[in-house]
């Protein structure tokens, strides 16, 4: 077990404190990702094999620290980009009324706080991509793969809102601390 922990620590490490913080956030997301289909089933009472589709993005999130080590700027942008694509896919699986789009908020926070300050064009491009992801999810007739009642969708909206708000707060706190080691008293 100690060797697995040591390997994970090396995998997440980066000389850049913001990239290192972003990698920690990826690991927090990955630790919680297997529970999301279970929470969706619990919240909606709908237990279907299609819930496994909600984990399709896992290998892509696993690759973010690898990308970050090779190109820190690309790695910190890969995280919100994969998050946006995952959001679009989960919206297709669960439907527009599921509230999954709220996960674009932490993607925006990750973009704004993790992107290097000299890369305003990259930040702007990623924000535009996040908005386009939202618009496509709203405008194109996609999904749902899993049909849910209005009551089930309300429960899912609540679950997604709490989850996204929690991750947004954690991401903001983690990245702001990584960017600003000076404590104001």
Task: Examine the pLDDT at 37 and tell me if it is beyond 90.
Answer: yes
**167 three-class SS:** helix
Q: In whole angstroms, what is the distance from residue 44 CA to residue 55 CA?
A: 18
Task: Examine the pLDDT at 149 and tell me if it is beyond 90.
Answer: yes
Task: Examine the pLDDT at 181 and tell me if it is beyond 60.
Answer: no
Poorest-confidence range of 71-75, 91-95, 112-116, 131-135? Answer: 71-75
Q: In whole angstroms, what is the distance from residue 129 CA to residue 133 CA?
A: 6
Share of the chain above pLDDT 70, in %: 97
Q: What per-residue confidence (pLDDT) applies to 185?
A: 55
Task: Examine the pLDDT at 15 and tell me if it is beyond 60.
Answer: yes
Contact 12, 24 (CB under 8 A): yes
pTM value? 0.91
Q: What per-residue confidence (pLDDT) applies to 153?
A: 95
DSSP class of residue 56 equals T
Q: What is the CA radius of gyration of the chain?
A: 17
Contacts for 80 with CB less than 8 Å, ≥ 6 apart = 107, 108, 110, 111, 114, 126, 130
Contact 1, 55 (CB under 8 A): no
């Amino acid at each position: 077990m100690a060797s697995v922990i040591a390997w994970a620590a090396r995998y997440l490490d980066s000389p850049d404190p913001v990239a290192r913080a972003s990698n920690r956030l990826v690991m927090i997301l990955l630790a919680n990702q297997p529970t999301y289909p279970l929470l969706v089933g619990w919240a909606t009472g709908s237990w279907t094999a299609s819930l496994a589709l909600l984990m399709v993005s896992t290998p892509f999130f696993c690759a973010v620290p690898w990308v970050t080590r090779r190109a820190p700027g690309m790695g910190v942008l890969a995280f919100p980009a994969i998050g946006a694509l995952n959001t679009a896919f989960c919206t297709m699986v669960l439907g527009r009324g599921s509230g999954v789009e709220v996960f674009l908020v932490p993607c925006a926070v990750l973009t704004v706080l993790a992107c290097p300050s000299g890369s305003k064009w990259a930040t702007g491009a990623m924000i535009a991509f996040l908005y386009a992801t939202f618009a496509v999810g709203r405008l194109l007739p996609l999904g749902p793969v899993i049909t849910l009642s209005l009551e089930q969708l309300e429960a899912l909206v609540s679950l997604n809102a709490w989850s996204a708000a929690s991750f947004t707060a954690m991401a903001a706190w983690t990245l702001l601390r990584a960017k600003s080691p000076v404590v104001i008293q």
